[in-house]
Amino acid sequence: MEDKNVILVTWDFTEKSEYALEHAYIAAKSLKAGIALLHIVKKESEIQSYEERLHGVIADHYANRDIRPTALVKAGNIFNTIGESAEESGAKMVFMGTHGIKGSQKFFGSWALKVIANTKVPFIVVQAPPTGEMYRNIVFPVNFRKENKESINWIGFFSRHFNSKIHVFVAKHTDSNFIKGIESNIMFLTKNFKIKGVDFIMENAPGETDFVKEVADYAKQIKADSIFIVTTKDIGFTDYMLGAHEQYIIANNFDIPVICVNPKPPKIGGSFSTSGS
């Protein structure tokens, strides 16, 4: 793709893909970006037929929109090809529609995490259509993990482009080591948010139940339009199967969109910037 100012929408010809596209339209307006619908097939021989099908969807339903999406069909798998396509196209964001964790889909959250783990830009997971303007009130749950500090540049990105207000929701712990980690994160975030001119407030979680549940309840209570998380660094097979906390936030019961960003990889002969510029 030649357009380096584009938003990717994963497309599987379902209603959930349509929800993701509607969210992408909102983001594209603020970012002045194009939109590409990305469908992944298993074999190279399938690309042409699915390109024709995708072009047909665009012509029938989206030709008269302010932004006409382009079609992008790649052979591969969802765990690697989405991230590769995002990097090749210079995508600003990736949107994906999901069904959450319900019944036989209880492991979906871990599946989504594995998809998200290979992207270097914000990956927004949605379960429902947008309800209005997006990314104006974002809940950012903060605990003791050092990865929380890697939110700074991406939070600044949303603050600049979407005029976001960040509701920092702080976990409650009794363990002294965890408390020190939280205090370190809060000091770091407060200092850098002020430097970047981020509009933010801080609220302490009650600590009466699981933090993940309190995050979703808080987001619902303040009518937040999204939740922002930094995924766990070096997440492994055990985390996928037993349930890293992110997967339950991603599949929250209130259908609140979740903005996922990955920690920066180690610097090996180069660097990766999360400046969002």
Structural domains in the chain (count): 2
Contact between 215 and 169 under an 8 Å Cβ cutoff? The reply is yes
Classify residue 44: in a domain, yes or no. yes
Q: Tell me the torsion sign for CA atoms 237, 241, 245, 250.
A: positive
**What is the pLDDT, as a whole number, of residue 256?**
95
Classify residue 113: in a domain, yes or no. no
Residues 247 and 142 in one domain: yes
Residues 181 and 80 in one domain: no
Burial of 94 (0-12, 13-18, 19+ CB in 10 A): buried
Q: Quick check: 2 pLDDT over 60?
A: no
**With pLDDT > 90 as the criterion, what percentage of the chain qualifies?**
70
Q: What is the CATH number of the domain that holds 78?
A: 3.40.50.620
Residues 161 and 230 in one domain: yes
Residues 92 and 142 in one domain: no
Classify residue 10: in a domain, yes or no. yes
Residues 75 and 179 in one domain: no
What does the pLDDT average to over 149-168?
A: 95
Residues 153 and 241 in one domain: yes
Residues 91 and 141 in one domain: no
pLDDT in tens, 54-67: 999 999 999 899 99
Q: Which amino acid is at 151?
A: S
Task: Give the chain as a 3 state SS string.
Answer: CCCCCEEEEECCCCHHHHHHHHHHHHHHHHHCCEEEEEEEECCHHHHHHHHHHHHHHHHHHCCCCCCCCEEEEEECCHHHHHHHHHHHHCCCEEEEECCCCCHHHCCHHHHHHHHHCCCCCCEEEECCCCCCCCCCEEEEEECCCHHHHHHHHHHHHHHHHHCCEEEEEECCCCCHHHHHHHHHHHHHHHHHHHHHCCEEEEEECCCCCCHHHHHHHHHHHCCCCEEEEECCCCCCHHHHHHCCHHHHHHCCCCCCCEEEECCCCCCCCCCCCCCCC
Q: Quick check: 204 pLDDT over 50?
A: yes
Classify residue 199: in a domain, yes or no. yes
Q: Quick check: 153 pLDDT over 50?
A: yes
List the domain range (segments joined by +) for residue 249.
Answer: 137-261
Residues 245 and 147 in one domain: yes
Which domain-ending residue is among 80, 97, 114? 97
**What is the pLDDT, as a whole number, of residue 100?**
53
Classify residue 38: in a domain, yes or no. yes
pLDDT in tens, 97-111: 986 544 333 334 456
Mean pLDDT of all residues belonging to the chain? 86
**What is the pLDDT, as a whole number, of residue 101?**
46
**With pLDDT > 70 as the criterion, what percentage of the chain qualifies?**
84
Residues 83 and 174 in one domain: no
pLDDT tier at 240, thresholds 50, 70, 90: very low
Q: The whole model's pTM is what?
A: 0.88
Q: Quick check: 234 pLDDT over 60?
A: no
Q: Quick check: 275 pLDDT over 80?
A: no
| Least confident among 137-141, 226-230, 249-253, 261-265 | 261-265
Q: Quick check: 220 pLDDT over 90?
A: yes
pLDDT in tens, 161-178: 999 999 999 999 888 989
Residues 93 and 142 in one domain: no
Q: Quick check: 273 pLDDT over 80?
A: no
Classify residue 125: in a domain, yes or no. no
Q: Facing residues of 261 across strands?
A: 230
Which residues neighbour 57 within 8 Å (Cβ) at sequence distance 6 or greater? 13, 37
CB neighbourhood size of 84 (10 A): 13
Residues 149 and 254 in one domain: yes
Classify residue 202: in a domain, yes or no. yes
Q: Facing residues of 39 across strands?
A: 73
Per-range mean pLDDT, top range of 116-120, 167-171, 210-214, 272-276: 167-171
CB neighbourhood size of 50 (10 A): 18
**What is the pLDDT, as a whole number, of residue 3?**
56
Which domain-ending residue is among 97, 115, 147? 97
**What is the pLDDT, as a whole number, of residue 113?**
74
Classify residue 108: in a domain, yes or no. no
CA dist 31 and 162 (Å) reads 9
Residues 197 and 81 in one domain: no
Task: Give 107-133 as a 3 state SS string.
Answer: CHHHHHHHHHCCCCCCEEEECCCCCCC
